[in-house]
Amino acid sequence: MVDPTPHITSGQHCEHMALEEDITKDLLAELGLLVLGQYLVEAFLKYGEECNVVEILPHPIPKFCFNVVGSFVGTIKGPLPCENGNVLNYSCFIATQFLPSNPAKGDTGFIKITGHDPLKDDQANTLLEKTLHAFAHFGFLDTKCTHILCDLQG
């Protein structure tokens, strides 16, 4: 039987721990962006209501959100799980709510809504696409030009 546990020297251990700290910082930053995104959604929708955008559009602004509720960054304590010979490389992780798709109900899963695709016309055509383009612009202005949320999928 093959031992799936990686054998690490003390020098490699220090490098591994430093990398794990960097990954944890990146995951915390990712969680922070989810929180920022949700804040901006709520501010965007409130601003739309205050400006009576509903009176201008033929349909209400589509509701959307960031998958932040219940999300967290965690660390596995003790030995890392091993299944079918696959070992997790790092003990840190980010957990978000599972968003299932149900093709039987017409839900085809996640689609790329905004972003750059050189083979596709990036012109916003649907109300959802136009809303998300406006949201990205709003978020850029609301953060005083420090953040822009793009490549939105859902």
pTM greater than the 0.85 cutoff: no
61 Cβ neighbours under 8 A, 6+ residues apart:
45, 48, 53, 54, 127, 131
Mean predicted confidence (pLDDT) in 65-90: 81
Interval 28-51: pLDDT, tens: 999 999 999 999 999 998 998 888
C-alpha 13/C-alpha 59 separation (Å) is 57
Residue 3 pLDDT exceeds 50: no
pLDDT score for 116: 55
pLDDT score for 113: 64
